[in-house]
A and B are shown apart, each in its own frame.
Chain A
Amino acid sequence: MLFVLIVVPFIMAGLVFILPNKRTGILLFIATALFHLSCVISFWKKTPQAQWQNYLSLDVLGLLILSIISALFVTVSFYLIAYLKKEEDRSARLFLICLLVFLSTMTLVTVSRHLGLLWIAVEATTFFSAILINFHRAPQGIEATWKFLLICSVGIALALLGTLFMAVAATNIKSLLLEELLSHASSLDVSWLKLSVIFLLVGYGTKMGLVPMHSWKPDTYGEAPGPVGALMSGALTSCAFLSILRVGQICHQAGQMAFFQSIMLLLGMLSLFVASIFILGQTDFKRMLGYSSIEHMGILALGIGFGGTGFYGSLYHMLNNAFAKGLMFLVAGNLYRQYKTSRAKDIKGVLRSYPWTGVLLLAGFLCVTGFPPFGTFFSELMILNAAIMGKHYWFAALFVLFLAVIFIGISKIILRMALGVPRDKSLDHPQHESIYLIIPPVILGLIVLILGIYMPACVHEALQTASAIFEGQ
Chain B
Amino acid sequence: MEIWLDTALILVVLLGLFMTGSNRLGAIIQIFGLQSVVLGIVPFLMYFSKIEIHIVFVSLVAIVLKGFLMPYFLFWAIRHVSIRREVSPLIGFGTTLFLSGLLIAGSFILSSRLVFPGPAISDFIIPASFSTIMMGFLLLISRAKAITQVVGYLVMENGIFLFALLLLEKTPLLVEMGILLDVFVGALVMGIVVNHISDQFEHTDTSHLTVLRD
Residues of A participating in the B interface, judged by any CB pair closer than 8 Å: 114, 116-117, 119-120, 123-124, 126-127, 130-131, 134, 137, 139-140, 142-147, 149-150, 153-154, 157, 160-161, 164, 167-168, 171-172, 174-176, 189, 191-192, 195, 218-219, 222-223, 278, 282, 287
B179 touches A160 (CB 8 A): yes
A161 touches B163 (CB 8 A): yes
**With A117-B178, A131-B189, A149-B189 as given contacts, are A157 and B212 in contact (CB-CB < 8 Å)?**
no
Kindly provide the distance from the CB of B200 to the nearest chain A CB, expressed in whole angstroms: 5
**Which of B116, B190, B193, B196 sits near A168, CB closer than 8 Å?**
B116
Q: Is B164 an interface residue (CB 8 A)?
A: yes
Closest to B133 in A: A161
Stretch at the interface among B19-27, B89-97, B149-157: B149-157
Task: Select the residue from A160, A175, A223 with max chain B CB neighbours within 10 A.
Answer: A160
A195 to B214, CA, bound (A): 33
A157 to B201, CA, bound (A): 29
A175 to B175, CA, bound (A): 12
Q: Is B3 an interface residue (CB 8 A)?
A: no
**With A116-B175, A143-B211 as given contacts, are A127 and B153 in contact (CB-CB < 8 Å)?**
no
A154 touches B140 (CB 8 A): yes
Q: Which residues does chain B contribute within 8 Å of A150, judged by CB atoms?
A: 140, 149, 153, 190
**With A154-B140, A154-B153 as given contacts, are A167 and B196 in contact (CB-CB < 8 Å)?**
no
B212 touches A116 (CB 8 A): no
Kindly provide the distance from the CB of B31 to the nearest chain A CB, expressed in whole angstroms: 20
A124 touches B182 (CB 8 A): yes
A114 to B179, CA, bound (A): 13
**With A123-B182, A149-B190, A167-B171 as given contacts, are A157 and B117 in contact (CB-CB < 8 Å)?**
no
B214 touches A127 (CB 8 A): no
**Which of A164, A176, A191, A222 sits near B212, CB closer than 8 Å?**
A222
B212 touches A139 (CB 8 A): no
A175 touches B170 (CB 8 A): yes
A149 to B200, CA, bound (A): 18
Q: Is B160 an interface residue (CB 8 A)?
A: yes
Kindly provide the distance from the CB of B169 to the nearest chain A CB, expressed in whole angstroms: 9
Task: Give the contacts of B161-207 with A (CB-CB under 8 A).
Answer: 163-164, 166-167, 170-172, 175, 178-179, 182, 185-186, 189-190, 193, 196-197, 200-201, 206
Q: Which residues does chain B contribute within 8 Å of A189, judged by CB atoms?
A: 117
Closest to B209 in A: A143
Closest to B157 in A: A157
Q: Which residues does chain A contribute within 8 Å of B209, judged by CB atoms?
A: 142-143, 146-147
A287 to B206, CA, bound (A): 21
B214 touches A287 (CB 8 A): yes
B193 touches A142 (CB 8 A): yes
B211 touches A154 (CB 8 A): no
Q: Is B146 an interface residue (CB 8 A)?
A: yes
**Which of B156, B163, B166, B211 sits near A139, CB closer than 8 Å?**
B211
A130 touches B153 (CB 8 A): no
**Which of B146, B163, B206 sits near A164, CB closer than 8 Å?**
B163
Task: Select the residue from B137, B157, B179 with max chain A CB neighbours within 10 A.
Answer: B179
B212 touches A147 (CB 8 A): yes
**With A120-B175, A147-B212 as given contacts, are A164 and B190 in contact (CB-CB < 8 Å)?**
no
B179 touches A278 (CB 8 A): no
Kindly provide the distance from the CB of A465 to the nearest chain B CB, expressed in whole angstroms: 29
Query: Can you list 16 contacts pairing A with B, beta carbon distance less than 8 Å?
Result: A116-B175, A116-B179, A120-B179, A126-B186, A134-B196, A142-B196, A142-B209, A146-B193, A153-B190, A157-B153, A160-B160, A161-B133, A164-B160, A164-B163, A168-B118, A223-B212
A216 to B115, CA, bound (A): 36
A-B contact count (CB 8 A): 110
B146 touches A282 (CB 8 A): no
A171 touches B153 (CB 8 A): no
Kindly provide the distance from the CB of A257 to the nearest chain B CB, expressed in whole angstroms: 23
Besides the known contacts A134-B196, A142-B196, A146-B146, 15 further A-B residue pairs in the complex with CB atoms under 8 A apart:
A116-B179, A126-B186, A127-B185, A142-B197, A143-B209, A146-B193, A153-B186, A154-B140, A157-B156, A176-B175, A189-B117, A195-B114, A218-B214, A223-B212, A282-B214
Kindly provide the distance from the CB of A129 to the nearest chain B CB, expressed in whole angstroms: 10
B196 touches A119 (CB 8 A): no
A144 to B196, CA, bound (A): 12
Q: Which residues does chain A contribute within 8 Å of B172, judged by CB atoms?
A: 114, 116
Q: Which residues does chain B contribute within 8 Å of A218, judged by CB atoms?
A: 212, 214
Q: Which residues does chain B contribute within 8 Å of A223, judged by CB atoms?
A: 212
A130 touches B193 (CB 8 A): yes
A171 to B115, CA, bound (A): 12
B182 touches A171 (CB 8 A): no
A167 touches B167 (CB 8 A): yes
B200 touches A123 (CB 8 A): no
Q: Which residues does chain A contribute within 8 Å of B140, judged by CB atoms?
A: 150, 154
Task: Give the contacts of B27-42 with A (CB-CB under 8 A).
Answer: none
A149 to B179, CA, bound (A): 17
Task: Give the contacts of B109-137 with A (CB-CB under 8 A).
Answer: 114-118, 133, 137
Which 4 pairs from chain A and chain B are nearest by CB?
A116-B175, A120-B178, A143-B209, A219-B212
A38 to B151, CA, bound (A): 44
Kindly provide the distance from the CB of B127 to the nearest chain A CB, expressed in whole angstroms: 15
A153 to B163, CA, bound (A): 18
A117 to B175, CA, bound (A): 6
**With A120-B179, A150-B149, A161-B133 as given contacts, are A145 and B193 in contact (CB-CB < 8 Å)?**
yes
A112 to B209, CA, bound (A): 37
A147 to B197, CA, bound (A): 12
Q: Which residues does chain A contribute within 8 Å of B118, judged by CB atoms?
A: 168, 171
A141 to B116, CA, bound (A): 45
Task: Select the residue from B156, B175, B190 with max chain A CB neighbours within 10 A.
Answer: B175
A130 touches B214 (CB 8 A): no
A139 touches B201 (CB 8 A): yes
Q: Which residues does chain A contribute within 8 Å of B156, judged by CB atoms?
A: 154, 157
A64 to B61, CA, bound (A): 37
A123 to B172, CA, bound (A): 18
B164 touches A164 (CB 8 A): yes
Closest to B176 in A: A116
Kindly provide the distance from the CB of B154 to the nearest chain A CB, expressed in whole angstroms: 10
Q: Which residues does chain A contribute within 8 Å of B196, judged by CB atoms?
A: 134, 137, 142, 145
B178 touches A116 (CB 8 A): yes
